[in-house]
Amino acid sequence: DIQMTQSPSSLSASVGDRVTITCRASQSIDSYVNWYQQKPGKAPKFLIYAASNLQSGAPSRFSGSGSGTDFTLTISSLQPEDFATFYCQQSYTSPYTFGQGTKLEIK
Amino acid sequence: QLHLQESGPGLVKPSETLSLTCTVSGGSISSSSYYWGWIRQPPGKGLEWIGSIYHSGSTYYNPSLKSRVTASVDTSKNQVSLKVYSVTATDTAVYYCTRQAIGNYNWFDPWGQGTLVTVSS
pLDDT in tens, A4-39: 999 999 999 999 999 999 999 999 999 999 999 999
pLDDT in tens, B11-26: 999 999 999 999 999 9
Decide: B41 and B47 in contact? Cβ < 8 Å.
yes
DSSP label of B55: T
pLDDT in tens, B24-57: 999 999 999 999 999 999 999 999 999 999 999 9
Nearest to residue A34, comparing CAs of B60, B41, B116, B103?
B103
* Distance between CA atoms of residues A89 and B108, nearest Å: 10
CA B116 to chain centre: 12
* Distance between CA atoms of residues B40 and B116, nearest Å: 9
Interface mutation vs chain A, best among B61, B98, B108, B115, most A CBs within 10 Å? B108
Integer angstrom CA distances of residue A31 from A45, A51, A72, B5: 20, 5, 11, 31
The reply to whether A107 touches chain B by the CB within 8 Å rule is no
Helix (H, G, I), strand (E, B) or coil at B91: helix
The reply to whether B108 touches chain A by the CB within 8 Å rule is yes
